[in-house]
C-alpha cells in the first residue's frame, strides 16, 4: 500500500530551493554586471577655479614679504608688548599693595586691569598668527 500524502523530499524543497536560487542570482548579478564598468567621473563645476590659471583675479598674485622677516618682526613686536604688559602688571601690583583690603578699588586700578587684559588679548592673537 502506498500513502498518497507522501511526497519525495526534493519536491517539498522545490519552491524553497527556487527562491534561494533566485536570491543568489539577484545578489550576485549586479556585481557581475557592473564589474567591467568604471565608476562615472564627476563633472567639474563651471564655477570651480581652473588649476592651470594663475591665482588671483588679474593674474599672479603679489608676492608676500619674506616669511622669516615677518616672523622676526612679529616676535620683536610680541617681546615689546610682553615687556609693556610686565610693566603694567608691576604698576598694578604696586597700586594694590597701597590700597586697603577693606576699601573699594579705585577707578585707576580697574582701568589698569582692563588695560592689562586688552594687551594680553592682543599678545595672544599676535602669537596665534
Distance from C-alpha of 113 to C-alpha of 93, rounded to nearest angstrom: 10
- Distance from chain centroid for Cα 117: 29
Residue 95's domain spans which residues? 67-128
Please check whether residue 102 lies inside any domain of the structure.
yes
Crossing angle, helix 67-98 and helix 107-128, to 10 degrees? 160
* pLDDT at 69 exceeding the cut of 80: no
Question: What distance in Å separates the CA atoms of residue 66 and residue 110, rounded to the nearest whole number?
Answer: 41
> Tens digit of pLDDT for each residue in 12-29?
556 666 677 667 766 766
Query: Per the domain annotation, does 94 fall within a domain?
Result: yes
82 domain residue, yes or no: yes
Cβ-proximal residues to 19 (8 Å cutoff; 6+ apart), any chain? none
Q: Decide if 16 is inside a domain.
A: no
Share of the chain above pLDDT 90, in %: 19
Question: In the chain, how many domains are there?
Answer: 1
Is residue 14 included in any domain, yes or no? Answer: no
Residue 113 placed within a domain: yes
Is 56 inside a domain boundary?
no
Q: How confident is the model at residue 116 (pLDDT cuts 50, 70, 90)?
A: very high
Contact at 8 Å (CB) between 85 and 116? yes
Residue 25 lies in a domain: no
Is 0.75 surpassed by the pTM of this model?
A: no
Phi-psi region of 106 (alpha: psi -120 to 50; beta: other; left: phi over 0): beta
Amino acid at each position: 500500500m502506498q500513502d498518497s500524502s507522501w511526497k519525495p523530499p526534493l519536491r517539498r524543497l522545490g519552491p524553497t530551493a527556487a527562491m534561494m536560487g533566485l536570491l543568489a542570482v539577484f545578489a550576485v548579478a549586479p556585481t557581475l554586471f557592473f564589474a567591467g564598468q568604471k565608476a562615472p567621473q564627476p563633472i567639474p563645476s563651471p564655477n570651480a577655479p581652473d588649476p592651470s590659471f594663475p591665482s588671483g583675479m588679474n593674474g599672479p598674485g603679489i608676492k608676500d614679504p619674506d616669511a622669516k622677516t615677518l616672523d622676526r618682526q612679529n616676535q620683536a613686536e610680541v617681546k615689546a608688548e610682553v615687556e609693556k604688559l610686565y610693566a603694567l602688571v608691576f604698576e598694578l601690583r604696586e597700586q594694590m599693595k597701597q590700597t586697603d583690603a577693606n576699601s573699594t578699588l579705585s577707578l585707576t586700578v580697574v582701568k589698569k586691569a582692563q588695560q592689562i587684559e586688552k594687551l594680553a588679548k592682543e599678545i595672544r592673537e599676535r602669537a596665534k598668527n
